[in-house]
Each structure stands twice: as C-alpha cells, then as structure tokens.
Amino acid sequence: MVQAKSWVMVKHFDGFPKDSDFQLKVEELPEPKDGEVLLEAVFLSVDPYMRWVFWNKLPEYCKTAETLSSKNPAFPVGSHVVSHCGWRSHSVSDGADLIPIMADWPSDVSLSLALGTIGMPGLTALYGIEEVLGLQKNETLLVNAAAGAVGNVVGQIAKIKGCKVVGSAGSDAKVAYLRELGFDEAFNYKTVPSLEEALKKAAPEGYDCLFENVGGYFSTVALPQMKTFGRIAVCGSISTYNDGTPQTGPYPHFTMIVKQLKMEGFTQNRWQHKNPESLKRMMAWLKEGKLKCREHVTKGFENMPAAFMGLLRGDNIGKAVVAV
Ligand SMILES: NC(=O)C1=CN([C@@H]2O[C@H](COP(=O)(O)OP(=O)(O)OC[C@H]3O[C@@H](n4cnc5c(N)ncnc54)[C@H](OP(=O)(O)O)[C@@H]3O)[C@@H](O)[C@H]2O)C=CC1
Ligand SMILES: CCCCCC(=O)/C=C/[C@@H]1[C@@H](C/C=C\CCCC(=O)O)[C@@H](O)C[C@H]1O
C-alpha cells in the first residue's frame, strides 16, 4: 500500500484562485493489478489552462513520473513517463494515458523539460509558428508573455528561422532574459509609458506575425500595428482568464478588415501525430545550443497551489514546474 497525496478543488474559482479553493487529500492506493503500473511523480506542471481545467474537472494535469512497480510490460520499473492523472504524488494507471519519455533522452538533460521546452509548451510554440503562422525568413514576429514557457521558445525558434523578434514581458528581469536569448527588441509592458509607442518603436515597419498569448487590451493595441495581410496565431488570452465578468470591446473586426488580417486559434494537440519527430528536432536544437531552457522550480508537492497562483501572477521566468 502507498499513501498518495492529491490536490483537489473544494470551491470553484471566483476571480483569481485562492488558497482556500484547494484542499490536500491523502489516500491509500491499492497495489497495481495485471496491466497496471504504480507511478510516483517526479516533476509536476502548472499551466495557465489549469485555471479552466480545474473548473471543468478534466483529467488533464501533466507530470513526469517514475514507475515504482509495474504489471504492464510496456512500462518497466524505473522507466519515466508523462502522465495526465492530476495533481497527485502517486497514481495507478492502466497505461492508456501514459506517454513514455522520448527514447534516448540524454542523461544530462533534466526530465522536467518534458513538461516544458521538450514537451507541451515547446510543441505549442513550434506548431504555432510552423503550422498556424507559416513564419518565413526575414519576417517580423511579435510575441507576448514572451519570457514564459511558450513565449521564450516562440522567440528562439523564430530567431532560428532568421526572423526579427520582438517580445513583451512583465518585468525588467524578464526583458533582460529575452535580450540574453537573442530577441531583437524587448520591453516591459507594465512600465512603458505607451504600449502603442513601444510596439511602433520596436518595429516601425509593422508586424508580419503575432503569436498571441495574452489577448485583451494587448491585442487591441497590437492589431493596428500589423502589416496588411498579417497573420495572428491565437494561442492563449491569459489576461482574461481570471476575469469575473468578461471584458467587452473594442472589437477586432474593423482592424481585421482594413488590414486584411488572418487570425487562427489553435491548441497544440491538433498536430500530435507529429510529436515524436518534433520533439527530436527540438532536442537536437537544445543539444546544439540553439535552444536555451530556463525553469522556475517550486519545491514540494505541498506547494502546488502556490506555484500555480505564482504562474498566474507572473512570478515565473521560463517554465513553471514543481519538483517533488
Ligand atoms: N493553445 C495551446 O495549445 C496552448 C496555449 N497556451 C497559452 O499560452 C499562454 C502562455 O502559456 P505558458 O507559456 O504556459 O505560461 P507562461 O509561462 O507564459 O506564464 C504565464 C505568464 O503570463 C503572463 N501574464 C499573467 N497575467 C497576465 C496579464 N493579465 N496580462 C499579460 N500577461 C499576463 C505572466 O508573464 P508577464 O510577467 O510577462 O505578465 C506569466 O508569467 C497562455 O495564454 C496559455 O493559456 C499554453 C499552452 C498550450
Ligand atoms: C480552456 C482555456 C485554454 C486556453 C489556451 C490553453 O492554454 C490551451 C491549452 C491546451 C490544453 C487544453 C485545455 C482545455 C481546452 C478545452 C477543453 C475542452 O473542453 O475540450 C491542453 O490540451 C494542453 C494545451 O494544448
């Protein structure tokens, strides 16, 4: 018998999540039956979409876990997987929801990156750029929440593709990090006197592509800065996730008509058939030093809600993860 800890939601979020919305539970797990495995979490992910998933109670939360005991030959004891079975320290799985960590994962690369650059957020960046935007060499790309898990990879891949990259982020330390990564222009959207002027100054020629992570006011100001026939990949709209009442206009349609813009929302799982090849490609970039990784690590399973709320507040530079 193993004692498993899990975080559950005891009250629906009302605006920004609070400590009292979460509760830590402890339960005894049964031994795995034939075909099952017992997993122990090594790293757990906190992601913005969990603000919604918690509410809908979808079994989506992601973690890397090690197999402790196994009655499923596909997952031998000591092997590592990405699992989607919740904010749990231990879980029993029949293997259906488990993704083995990429074969030949280098021993000097932390497994936590399977939740970040070499995982879901990295794939989001890659597919947003290649499948949605079709970004071309010498184009100018704008990305917001640029120092976060998805945004920093967006900027780095766009540089690999020979583009001019402008990033916005919410602190001077984040802006310094973007410059370190090779972004051509970066600014702190919280302290610039005018967002419109900052966007114009960074790219007087206008933007071919916008990788949209933030939405809301940022989007309203950025759209008129697009070039005619500009493309926008709507990946997220984090500035609206904690709104009690939905934000209302200005609405984008007039600008979209005048500028003849193309806007497409997406989730990265549309291209999951490409994941094995894509992850290999990104791991190669990482090993060649073309893709740098930074993480914001919170220690301790008991600190999951704090890590999650910190992410929504913008505490993280790079991917926010919890190390058990
Ligand atoms: N479509 C898809 O398949 C996926 C979409 N996403 C989306 O991509 C976006 C980025 O996710 P991810 O990289 O994991 O998260 P991040 O690591 O970027 O963390 C979230 C960041 O959002 C910024 N932020 C928080 N509140 C606001 C606000 N009110 N206005 C502007 N920025 C804010 C903060 O950075 P700062 O200090 O710069 O404000 C914070 O660090 C999210 O919108 C998410 O929902 C993520 C994964 C998959
Ligand atoms: C629900 C708000 C999602 C905001 C964008 C985002 O962060 C997407 C992340 C996806 C996530 C999808 C989760 C929920 C989507 C809607 C659920 C439903 O009702 O079907 C997960 O798939 C990982 C990211 O691709």
- The DSSP string of 184-218 is SEEEETTT-S-HHHHHHHH-TT-EEEEEESS-HHH
Centre of ligand 1 from the C-alpha of residue 48, in Å: 6
**Which domains does the chain carry?**
2-116+293-323 (3.90.180.10), 120-268 (3.40.50.720)
Task: Give CA 60 to chain center in angstroms.
Answer: 13
Pocket test for ligand 1, best of 238, 263, 270 (most atoms within 8 A of CB): 238
Distance CA 256, CA 239 (A): 21
Question: What is the C-alpha to C-alpha distance for residues 62 and 68, in angstroms, rounded to an integer?
Answer: 18
49 lines ligand 2 (CB under 6 A): yes
Q: At 223, which amino acid appears? A: L
How far is the C-alpha of 66 from the C-alpha of 248, rounded, in Å?
46
Tokens linked to 138:
């010498």
Rounded Cα–Cα distance for residues 324 and 321 (Å): 10
Is the CB of 237 inside a 6 Å radius of any atom of ligand 2? no
Question: Locate tokens 């006011």: which residue?
Answer: 217
Per-residue pLDDT, 114:
96
Bridge partner list, 93: 37
Ligand 2, atom 8, residue with closest C-alpha: 49
Cα–Cα distance measured from residue 30 to residue 2, given in angstroms and rounded to the nearest whole number: 7
Token pair belonging to 155: 């900027």
Q: What's the Rg (C-alpha) of the chain?
A: 20
Q: Return the residue whose CA atom lies nearest to atom 43 of ligand 1.
A: 236
At 57 the pLDDT is 67
Please report the pLDDT score of residue 60 as a whole number.
61
**Each residue's pLDDT expressed in tens, for the chain with a length of 324 residues:** 899 999 998 988 999 999 999 999 999 999 999 999 999 999 999 999 999 887 666 556 677 788 888 999 999 999 999 998 889 999 999 999 899 999 899 999 999 999 999 999 999 999 999 999 999 999 999 999 999 999 999 999 999 999 999 999 999 999 999 999 999 999 999 999 999 999 999 999 999 999 999 999 999 999 999 999 999 999 999 999 999 898 898 999 999 999 999 999 999 999 999 999 999 999 999 999 999 999 999 999 999 999 999 999 999 999 999 999
Instruction: State both tokens at 49.
Output: 């979409």
CA-nearest residue for atom 30, ligand 1, is 239
Q: What are phi and psi of 148, to 5 degrees?
A: -85, -170
What residue's CA is closest to ligand 1, atom 6?
Answer: 236
Residue 269 Cα: closest atom of ligand 2: 25
Tokens 């935007």, residue? 133
User: What confidence score (pLDDT) does residue 65 get?
Assistant: 83
Residue minimizing CA distance to atom 11 of ligand 2 = 49
**CB of 153 within 8 A of CB of 126?**
yes
Q: Which amino acid is at 2?
A: V
Ligand 2 binding pocket includes 148 (Cβ within 6 Å) = no
**CA-to-CA distance for 229 and 207, rounded, in angstroms?**
10
Calpha distance 304→287 (Å, rounded): 30
Q: How many residues does the chain have?
A: 324
Phi, psi of 229 (to 5 degrees): 70, 20
Given a contact cutoff of 8 angstroms between Cβ atoms, the answer to whether 68 and 38 are in contact is yes
Its pTM stands at: 0.97
Tokens of 76: 């031998």
Count CB-CB contacts under 10 A for residue 105: 16
> Ligand 2 atom closest to Cα of 56?
19
Sign of the dihedral through C-alpha 289, 315, 126, 157 = negative
> Is 271 near ligand 1, meaning CB less than 6 Å away?
no
Is 236 close to ligand 1, i.e. is its CB under 6 Å away? Answer: yes
Quote the CA–CA distance of 86 and 23 in Å, as a whole number. Answer: 13
Q: How many CB atoms lie within 10 A of CB 189?
A: 22
Minimum-distance ligand to the CA of 295? 1
Give the pLDDT of residue 134: 98
Contact 5, 298 (CB under 8 A): no
229: left (phi over 0), alpha (psi -120 to 50) or beta: left
Question: Measured between alpha carbons, how far is 180 from 175 in angstroms, rounded to an integer?
Answer: 9
Ligand 2 atom with the smallest distance to the CA of 267 is: 25
Q: What's the gap in Å between 13 CA and the centre of ligand 1?
A: 18
